[in-house]
Amino acid sequence: MNEKSTVLQLRDFMNTPEGWGRDQGREIYNKLIGFVEANPGTMIFKVSLRNVKRLDISFASETFVELARRYRGYKGFCFIDLADQDMRENWDAAASRKGQPMMVWEGKKGRVIGVEPSQGTLGAFKFALERERARATEFAAATPDMSIANASTKFKQLWEQGFLLRREDIAESGGVEFTYFRIG
């Protein structure tokens, strides 16, 4: 089963195609929280920036960067339809300031802005990005000299830092096994 995702059009929450300032950002943040809470079954929100002309760093900081930070580990937010370089820079600056990684997707190609994974977890992150779901046992099996415990630690770090989401499953052995998901 794929984790449920929903496309969210940011423009639908804005009065004008331009978003700027902390006050406006906070106003929209409250509307966005309402939307997220009204969709309890959705784990991943794909935020479409279609028809949004511009937004500044303060607005970016107060809306999805803050939202991603609030729900870190439980729900994920990624961007789609983000072709504008200037807007991408502003999301990046806002996410970087709050230490919150955010995914940007162009078709099947995803890249992270705001924060980069550490060198130690980069391999695990790339492994997770290439598939809809990933387990530590799979990463360990596919990576030379990687123990399951080490793989598990790396995935856990990525989850805690907001790069991945995860779900608790029951392993065949009867114990708990986490399944990790890319955001998007």
Among 57, 67, 80, 129, binds another protein (CB under 8 A): 57
Q: How far is the CB of 23 from another protein (least distance, A)?
A: 7
Q: How far is the CB of 20 from another protein (least distance, A)?
A: 4
Mention every residue, 6+ apart, whose C-beta is less than 8 A from residue 89: none
94 counts as binding another protein under rule CB under 8 A = yes
Q: Of 27-35, 92-100, 124-132, 136-144, which segment contacts another protein by CB under 8 A? A: 92-100
Among 3, 10, 13, 24, binds another protein (CB under 8 A): 24
118 phi, psi to nearest 5 deg: -70, 165
DSSP, res 3: P
Among 7, 12, 18, 141, binds another protein (CB under 8 A): 18
Nearer to another protein, 3 or 92 (CB): 92
DSSP, res 116: P
Mention every residue, 6+ apart, whose C-beta is less than 8 A from residue 149: none
Q: How far is the CB of 81 from another protein (least distance, A)?
A: 17
Q: Of 96-104, 110-118, 121-129, 151-159, which segment contacts another protein by CB under 8 A? A: 96-104
C-beta of residue 13 within 8 angstroms of C-beta of residue 50: no
Pairing type for strands 5-9 and 44-48 reads: parallel
DSSP structure string for 85-146: HHHHHHHHHHHHHTT--EEEEETTEEEEESSPPPHHHHHHHHHHHTSSEE-HHHHHHHSTT-
The tokens describing 53, both together, are 């002309």
Q: Of 35-43, 89-97, 133-141, 146-154, which segment contacts another protein by CB under 8 A? A: 89-97
Which residues contact another protein (rule: CB under 8 A)? Answer: 15-16, 18, 20-24, 54, 56-59, 61, 84-87, 89-90, 93-94, 96-99
